[in-house]
């Protein structure tokens, strides 16, 4: 008698030999056994081949997926690094240190002194900052503090705009002083923090180039701070709250104090700075 062949007859190993065939098929000659065996071997080999092809296809898909994942991971890491760099720039220390370095170079350069005009002083600072940062000068944006220009919607010009990948991250406004001029100081604070900052750039620097105060610079600085603290914003949200202590520049000829104010419900920093010029 004979019975249908199935995988269970050969055990889990799928190994078979003639003894298995003789056990399954009784009373049949060797030709029949060989024929059955050949058919089964063919089926078995075809099954193995299909499984191999499926395995190769899965491996190829896995490799492609891994490669795509690796490329995505590298791209995402590059994006995160760029974002971290931009955040580092926006959170002041790197930007602040670069501005202090530029002002340090300025006050140590006898070519730029008390007789140098404001535009030339700004140009010098811009060129120094441009070594490590993207800068634009005399950028027309916002509203001019001149009442006639403001009424007609004329754009004002910030002295220097600092950027990263084309995105503004800092505003620099310079003014030349040889004494405390409250109106001039207030005008530049308003220009830098509000009028010329429609994007709401979070780091603002108002820098006084101080002339003819080489022996009295410390006294000038104290009066300059006191004057700035008297500034009252026209809108409560824009009110500036100054730190109790100065920012550390490491230099007596470059001084700075930070204030915090709000635009659109977001905190912004304004750094009131002064640099002593040579005579």
251 and 124 assigned to the same domain: yes
Model pLDDT, residue 33 = 62
| Cβ count near 278 (within 10 Å) | 17
Q: Is residue 2 a part of any domain in this protein?
A: no
72 and 191 assigned to the same domain: no
- Do the Cβ atoms of 241 and 259 come closer than 8 Å? yes
62 and 160 assigned to the same domain: no
80 and 173 assigned to the same domain: no
148 and 52 assigned to the same domain: no
Cα distances from 73 to residues 20, 60, 87, 143, 247, in angstroms, run: 55, 20, 21, 44, 39
216 and 121 assigned to the same domain: yes
Name the residue with tokens 């007789």. 115
Q: Is residue 6 a part of any domain in this protein?
A: no
Domain end point (choices 72, 88, 104): 88
Domain end point (choices 35, 56, 88): 88
Cα distances from 232 to residues 96, 158, 227, 241, in angstroms, run: 25, 21, 11, 10
Element (H, E) at 254: strand 254-263
Model pLDDT, residue 74 = 78
Q: Is residue 258 a part of any domain in this protein?
A: yes
Domain end point (choices 88, 104, 127): 88
Q: Is residue 196 a part of any domain in this protein?
A: yes
Question: Alpha-carbon distance 177 to 205, whole Å?
Answer: 16
Element (H, E) at 136: strand 134-141
129 and 266 assigned to the same domain: yes
Domain that holds residue 64: 14-88
230 and 254 assigned to the same domain: yes
Model pLDDT, residue 149 = 38
112 and 80 assigned to the same domain: no
The structural domain count of the chain equals 2
pLDDT along the chain (279 residues), means of 10: 45 51 53 68 79 85 82 75 60 84 95 93 95 75 43 59 89 94 95 92 96 88 96 92 94 96 93 94
203 and 113 assigned to the same domain: yes
Q: Is residue 241 a part of any domain in this protein?
A: yes
Q: Decide the pairing of beta strands 241-242 and 203-210.
A: unpaired
The encoded tokens of residue 177 equal 């002083």
> Sheet holding 241-242: strands in order across?
134-141, 156-164, 167-177, 203-210, 266-276, 254-263, 241-242
53 and 169 assigned to the same domain: no
Q: Is residue 164 a part of any domain in this protein?
A: yes
């Amino acid at each position: 008698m004979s019975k249908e062949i199935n995988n269970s007859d050969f055990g889990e190993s799928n190994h078979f030999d003639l003894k298995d065939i003789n056990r399954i098929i009784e009373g049949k000659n060797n030709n029949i056994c060989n024929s059955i065996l050949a058919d089964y071997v063919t089926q078995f080999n075809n099954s193995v081949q299909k499984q191999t092809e499926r395995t190769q296809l899965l491996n190829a898909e896995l490799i492609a997926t891994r490669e795509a994942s690796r490329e995505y991971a590298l791209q995402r890491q590059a994006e995160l690094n760029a974002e971290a760099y931009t955040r580092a720039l926006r959170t002041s220390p790197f930007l602040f240190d670069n501005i202090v370095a530029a002002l340090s170079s300025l006050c140590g350069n006898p070519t730029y002194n008390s007789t140098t005009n404001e535009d030339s002083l700004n140009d010098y600072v811009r060129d120094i900052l441009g070594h490590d940062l993207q800068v634009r000068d005399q950028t027309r944006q916002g509203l001019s503090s001149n009442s006639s220009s403001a009424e007609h919607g004329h754009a004002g010009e910030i002295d220097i705009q600092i950027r990263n990948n084309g995105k503004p991250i800092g505003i620099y406004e310079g003014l030349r002083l040889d004494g405390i001029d409250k109106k001039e100081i207030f005008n530049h604070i308003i220009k830098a923090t509000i009028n010329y900052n429609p994007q709401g750039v979070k780091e603002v620097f108002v820098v006084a180039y101080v002339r003819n105060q080489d022996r009295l610079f410390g006294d000038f600085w104290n009066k300059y701070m006191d004057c700035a603290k008297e500034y009252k914003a026209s809108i409560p949200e824009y009110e500036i709250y100054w730190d109790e202590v100065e920012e550390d520049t490491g230099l007596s000829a470059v001084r700075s104090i930070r204030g915090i104010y709000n635009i659109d419900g977001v905190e912004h920093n304004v750094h009131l700075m002064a640099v002593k010029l040579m005579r």
